Amino acid sequence: MLKTLLTIAAAAPVALATASAAPVTVNAGTSGSVSNQNIFGGRSAAGFSDSLRIGPSGAQIFAEAQASTGTVDSSVDLDFTAQYDDSIGLSEAGSVMLALLGSADADFDTNFGAGFEAGVATSFLNIGDVSLIDRGYRLSASGSSTIRSSGTGRDSQGFARVGTPEIPGISIGGGVSANATQRSTLDLTGISGTLTARNAVTGTFVSSIFSIGNSGVDNFNFDLGEVGRWDLSVGDIGVGNAFSSVFGLSVSGDFGASLGFGCGNPARDDDNGRLCVGDAGVEVESSSLDLANIPGFALLYSGFKSQGLGSITIFDDTISEVPIPGALPLMASVFAVGGLLRRRKAK
């Protein structure tokens, strides 16, 4: 009996309860935008002009164009996903792994204005330049982009053929047509910012800059060596991007002028008859004018808000068991011996 009592008194130490880790996934999102940014990347909206003349000096097709206005509007939506264990023992808190995933979806719209003049010109009989089209026009392109897929928007405006006017005493004919074009492209190159973990009680924080590109993920190893709840958040958010545009104008036309009879093809002199005083001519199937070729520049998005991404609890697992005080087995022995003596005395 004494042996049994002593065995009970010296039972195994009592273990403390501990938290169990659980993998979690937390999502958050924010958005940004830009309005009326100069489509020329900060350069003068009125500083682009070009011209062309096609054909020999005797007969030409000409065009002159210049950009007058241009802006771009864009909005972008960002989504973040954090993956981590939400409860970790202090003994492992010096190396806490987190994965941050991100994606971006953007839309853009442009508003571009320009003017151009096109016509025919000839030195034949001092006719000079004859303007056939003198117009202003506007183009608007829109598109959608992600980090993995560039977005391209296109727009165009055609101008129907306009014929040459009559000139008394001269046989004249021909005309010109034109087509204005725009191609704008938005490339999203990545998402950047800062991932922060802050202890809710002590205010201690650790942070790291993140950069999410085509892979869509960035990984972190944080030292959270302090007991308590650590709140996670992303801030200082930016979107890497490049916006570019190409504006063009293509012109087609033909022109011929002659004086006399039997002049044949105005573009040739070897087929003129004896009664032909002279002629001049040109034919252009299509010729392009690069009004503006804008290299990629960054759209200045703003309005992104910091976002919370849940929390990680660090618990103290450095003392996992509580031993029974050494005096307890001795007291149990005393009680056991005392009980045994009382039995014998009673006999």
Point out the least confidently predicted range of 41-45, 72-76, 84-88, 132-136: 41-45
Task: Give how far the C-alpha of residue 305 lies from the chain's centroid of Cα atoms, to the nearest Å.
Answer: 17
- Average pLDDT over every residue of 69-91: 95
255 exposed, middle or buried (CB, 10 Å; 0-12, 13-18, 19+)? buried
pLDDT at 118 over 80: yes
Count how many residues are written for the chain: 347
Cα-Cα-Cα-Cα torsion 281, 287, 290, 295, nearest 10 degrees, comes to -160
pLDDT digits (tens, 9 = 90+) for 14-72: 333 445 668 999 999 999 999 999 998 865 444 578 888 988 878 889 999 888 778 99
pLDDT at 339 over 80: no
CA dist., res. 305 & res. 8, Å (int): 62
CA dist., res. 263 & res. 343, Å (int): 150
CA dist., res. 141 & res. 250, Å (int): 18
pTM of the predicted protein model = 0.79
Q: Which residues contact 168 (CB under 8 A, 6 or more apart)?
A: none
- Average pLDDT over every residue of 61-86: 93
pLDDT number for residue 17: 41
Q: How do strand 307-315 and strand 87-89 relate by DSSP bridges? A: parallel
- DSSP for 68-93, please give it: EEEEEEEEEEEEEEEEEESEEEGGGT
CA dist., res. 189 & res. 330, Å (int): 73
